[in-house]
Amino acid sequence: MLNLVKKAQKGDDKAFLALFQKYEQDIYRMAFVYVKNQSDALDVVQETAYRSFKTIKNLKEPKYFKTWLIRIAVNCSLDLVRKQTKVVQLKPELEGNLSDDVNEEDIILEITVRDLIEQLNEGEKSVVILRFYEDLTFKEISETLDIPLGTTKTILYRALDKLRKNLKGDDLYE
């Protein structure tokens, strides 16, 4: 793999394409968690490919290609999320029916892990996604987000505590 990275850094399009395709699904899955729909997740994958292709020459350590690529994908995802307006959308099956026998309990039961993760701030969300969706180690997360190892652990434990409190606050698991 290091050979492919070095070839890509020298301008070999085929080597870059082979490298990118190896991690494309990982990038898509991670982006989907951030942007929550297929179209936007595909846009993030495309933007990640573009940014990484344009800047691969700047990659100092070829062995950190995946970490570098994930960092670009996280940044692309966050950029897209920031651009989107803060509009709360109702589920299509609930639109127009709110007055018809839809009680608060039905809506509360619609809470998912993704909804809970959305309540975290961007830093916490990134650490949780990289740890549990991408299965990165604390060290890899630290390198990907360019934050100290201790800070990575603190952010994760704080985020998990928030998630637990949010679950208990909803009386779903007491």
Tell me, what CATH number does 140's domain have?
1.10.10.10
The residue range of the domain holding 173 is 88-174
Q: Do 38 and 69 belong together in one domain? A: yes
Token pair 């975290």: residue: 120
Q: Do 51 and 62 belong together in one domain? A: yes
Nearest-5° Cα angle at 118, 69 to 26: 25
CA distances from 33 to 64, 78, 113, 132, 144 (A): 23, 11, 10, 11, 17
Q: Do 64 and 11 belong together in one domain? A: yes
**Number of independent structural domains in the chain:** 2
DSSP letter (8 states) at residue 162: H
**Domain closes at, from 46, 66, 87:** 87
**Domain closes at, from 71, 87, 103:** 87
Q: Do 51 and 117 belong together in one domain? A: no
Q: Do 151 and 172 belong together in one domain? A: yes
Q: What are 117-144's pLDDT values in tens digits?
A: 788 888 888 898 888 878 889 998 898 8
Whole-prediction pTM value?
0.65
**Domain closes at, from 27, 53, 87:** 87
Across the chain, what does the average pLDDT equal? 80
Query: 101-105: which pairs have CB atoms within 8 A and are 24 or more residues apart?
Result: none
Tell me, what CATH number does 80's domain have?
1.10.1740.10
Model confidence at 163, pLDDT cuts 50, 70, 90, reads confident
